[in-house]
Amino acid sequence: MEKKLIDESRKYLMNTYNRLPVVIRKGSGMKVWSADGREYLDFVGGIAVNCLGHCHPKVVIAVQKQAQRLLHVSNLYYIEPQIKLAKLLIDHSFADRVFFCNSGAEAIEAAIKLARKYAKDQLSHDKYEIITAFGSFHGRTLAALSATGQEKLQKGFEPLVQGFKHVPFNDINALKKAITRHTCAVMLEPIQGEGGVKMPEEGYLKEVRDLCHDHNLLLILDEVQTGIGRTGKLFAYEHFHIQPDIITLAKGLGGGVAIGAMLAREHIAQSFQPGSHASTFGGNPLACAASIATIETILEDGFILDSCSRMGQYLMNGLEGLKKDFPSIIANVKGLGLMVGMELTRPCANIVDLCLEKGILVNCTAGNVLRFTPPLIVTEKEIDHLIDILEDIFGGLV
């Protein structure tokens, strides 16, 4: 059965992914099962999407109830779950207004448009440039890709959208030098995810915030991967004692259902008026119902965020132990909450394959970084099993 499905996938789908040879058919909590019935422990979590695990009962029930009531009506009308979700996000963030869409890339596109529109409305007609960081990843649509600081991802899609400038992450002096009279915003990931779980140095984001304030620039934080509890707080910016002007969300926002959002302060959001921007499916009733259930579960059960911080540290401690045992293989361990990276001294694709053979799902990013973004409900026992598997694999490589 599984081989047949894989063969048909290779025949009918565009070849845009290097897929692992497994068909995931169902999931529950930290576990998934293949079409052939094999069980896997999931430390990918849909790439930081399934924050409450697979098929969390509260999310499933919310989706079931909403599906029986209303699936789609469009933003030509007011949508009750959308209104409730917007209030929930505003009540627990710095922001005053929300725009809903369907993905992280769409949220980034909305942020880019809002930043430019606000700058032209309130500052100057020639302010349009946005500074981002090398190593960043902001999405695959053309403007989001142009904002992304990875040339390898941009090759073949030129000419890129103009108006983006890239500087080294963690280099405040380079950022200062990059600012011109055309600059309207700085856009950064609090932690670079696809860039290899690269952490901000102490004080860096505070310096960026101050620099933006001094130069009347907007600070956009791309929290598509770090948001919704992933780092042990609802939003990653809370760790760094700053408040942005705009943030983007997606991934964990729907607990497994596709939804994106762009949040902004009131005076900035006012630059979007009817006709400025739109999304047919953005904030649809089904996705909003899933998101409400996800966020309410995280907020109402304070244990989840506390557990995320504790389990993240427990995971990093386990990986640090492996680093001591295998210094020729493991170069560094880094992360925050349950967004953890283990940098290897070699490419890590084969490690992903070996983990799959042993019933563990992990992810490789930036070529040599094993990325762990499990559901926030992961336990010590499950982390111990991961560490044992990795120890066995690394032991066979020495």
> Does the annotation mark 177 as catalytic?
no
User: Could you tell me the CA-to-CA distances from 51 to 111, 192, 376, 385 in Å, in that order?
Assistant: 24, 18, 5, 20
Which residue in the list 94, 99, 100, 137 is annotated as catalytic? 137
Give the integer Cα–Cα distance in Å for 150 and 163: 16
> Does the annotation mark 43 as catalytic?
no
Give the integer Cα–Cα distance in Å for 377 and 327: 30
Instruction: List residues bridging with 133 in a β-sheet.
Output: 167
Which residue in the list 42, 169, 251, 394 is annotated as catalytic? 251
User: Could you tell me the CA-to-CA distances from 34 to 9, 26, 41, 73, 75 in Å, in that order?
Assistant: 15, 7, 11, 35, 38
CA-nearest of 90, 373, 46, 123 to 247 is: 90
Under 8 Å between Cβ of 273 and 70:
no
Number of H helices, E strands in the chain: 14, 15
> Does the annotation mark 245 as catalytic?
no
CA-nearest of 313, 342, 340 to 325 is: 342
Q: Exposure pattern of 105-136 as b/e (b: 16+ CB <10 Å)?
A: bbbbbbbbbbbbbbbeeeeeeebbbbbbbbbb
Instruction: List residues bridging with 371 in a β-sheet.
Output: 341, 363
Give the integer Cα–Cα distance in Å for 365 and 196: 6
Pure H helices in 13-103: 45-48, 57-69, 80-91
SS3 content of the chain, % helix, strand, coil (to 5): 40, 20, 40
Under 8 Å between Cβ of 224 and 104:
yes
Of the CA atoms within 13 Å of residue 281, those in its CB half-sphere come to: 11
* Helix (H/G/I), strand (E/B), else coil: 60: helix
Residues annotated as catalytic (active site), given as ranges: 137, 222, 251
